[in-house]
Structure 1
């Protein structure tokens, strides 16, 4: 199993510097991670640093709250692609989902899907704030809107990925999308367990520890 190809090597801290992003990209190139995941301000830099690499660029949209307007998210997605992103991880309107505004949530995701065209769309549902029924509903909405992946968490909420959530989400998507687990995945055994449960991608800032099979 090539664990490195499951990993989105992630740095989304507000204090991340340009030097930090350069280090992230250098690490991703050395370990051949699937992608680097960065905030929009750093997509152009990451693309330039990895121009001769197979490492993909993943940009976040509506991050981390998901509560900005749909038009703002669409513009952010467009700009991210223009700057060189290959993939987009977007946060749903969590409050909209919890308010039962399912058609509005679906429409927002659909608009971004249309902007991205062939680019990969991962939809973050932020499981820590949802009931099991809301998690299932969110997965189904994202699939109907054309998501390629459903992602558990931003890593900025009250909790990250859990095994139970992945099992629930796997049942909800029924093979119609892929799964990305993120938030709190810090060592080899944890990452391996998620992969064994059917996760196709892992978002983590601990990718090097994971591929070196180091445990906490």
Structure 2
């Protein structure tokens, strides 16, 4: 297991994913020593059974990919994910609230998800930075810290574009040295990964983890 592999959430969030593909994802994660497999909620139980006895964790998504479900639904999704064995939960904020400046609502929702996860799962907050201004990204990051989240995350990978160096730098500067920062979406090469880590990312979400690891010299 390498230091590099432990940065990577080995990800398959396509709606077309099959059981066979999820099993392969887990096998690759175990083989390469990735931090987690990141799968849609329907696959959490299967992935959890498959990682038993290995160091690989299971990550899933909440309010994904739009972030526009109600807080109650996001809380239920979180509780369900934890019950099914998720170790980490990546939740999407309500983008419309961010654009309208409803920061107290965003903070309250994040806190509700954090409370639902309890001590059983880490919570990463997906900001979808490609839809936000720098000021909005910074405020969303501050609210994530205030609500008790464990990470801020750039992107779902399903919007206009994924992680950028500039967004990762801003998020790291805002949250300080201790909170996690996850760069996700568009990280496909060793060079991409290196740039994100240099900018301040402590976790990488990628579907190309095996290829990245094969060519990485970090």
TM-score by length of structure 1 reads: 0.97
Tell me what 1:169 maps to. Answer: 171
CA RMSD of aligned residues (A): 1.2
Structure 1 equivalent of residue 116 of structure 2: 115
* Aligned structure 1 segments of 4 or more residues deviating by more than 4 angstroms: none
CA contact (8 A) 1:21 1:46 kept: yes
Matches within 5 A, 1:45-194: 45-118=46-119, 119-194=121-196
Q: Give the Å deviation of 1:157.
A: 0.6
Q: State the match for 2:206 in structure 1.
A: 204
Cα displacement string for residues 55-102 of structure 1 (whole angstroms, at most 9, x for unaligned residues): 000010000000000000000000000000000000001111111111
Please say if 1:26 is aligned against 2:32. Answer: no
Residues 167-206 of structure 1: CA deviation (Å, up to 9, x unaligned): 1111111235110000000011110121122211000000
State how far apart, in whole Å, the 2-side matches of 1:202 and 1:89 are. 13
1:212 counterpart SS class: helix
- Secondary structure at 1:203's aligned position in 2? strand
Partners of 1:72 and 1:35 in 2: CA distance: 24
Do residues 36 (structure 1) and 58 (structure 2) align? no
Size of the alignment, in residue pairs? 215
Residues 4, 34 of structure 1: 8 Å contact kept: yes
Most deviating of 122-131 and 193-202: 193-202
TM-score normalized by the length of structure 2: 0.96
SS, match of residue 15 in structure 1: coil
Structure 2 gap segments, 5+ residues each: none
Whole-Å separation in 2 of the counterparts to 1:29 and 1:182: 20
CA distance in 2 between counterparts of 1:199 and 1:81 reads 25
| CA distance, structure 1, for counterparts of residue 13 and residue 86 of structure 2 | 15
For structure 1, the 5+ residue unaligned runs are: none
